[in-house]
Amino acid sequence: MDLWVDDSRTPPDGWVWAKTSAGAIDALCFGMVQRLSLDHDLRGGDTTRLVIGWMRENGVWPQEIRVHCANPVGWDV
């Protein structure tokens, strides 16, 4: 599965769309995410830093991780 985490930009065709960090973590729990593309800033102060922290704590790492963030702060995730 390809997982697109962004609250506003539409994912590419065929990608599953998570608009919150909690939604992304829920999708990652199944262990089927092969490609992950992250925005940094999500709505309401939510960020994908929570997703990265969860992956680190649980040893879950998709084969490919991308950052498609427009905010330079998010590039250092």
pLDDT > 90: percent of the chain: 82
| Confidence class for position 73, pLDDT limits 50, 70, 90 | low
Query: Quick one: pLDDT at residue 53?
Result: 97
Say yes or no to pLDDT of 64 above 60. Answer: yes
- Spatial separation of the C-alpha atoms in residues 4 and 10, rounded to whole Å: 9
Residue 39 placed within a domain: yes
**Overall number of domains in the chain:** 1
User: pLDDT tens, 2-38?
Assistant: 999 999 999 999 999 999 999 999 999 999 999 999 9
Residue 77 placed within a domain: no
Residue 10 placed within a domain: yes
**Range of 33's domain?**
2-72
Cβ contacts of residue 68 below 8 Å, gap of 6+? 6, 9, 37, 38, 39
H or E element, residue 3: strand 2-5
Instruction: Give the dihedral sign, CA 33/23/61/64.
Output: positive
- Summary mean pLDDT of the chain: 91
Q: Three-state DSSP class for 41?
A: strand
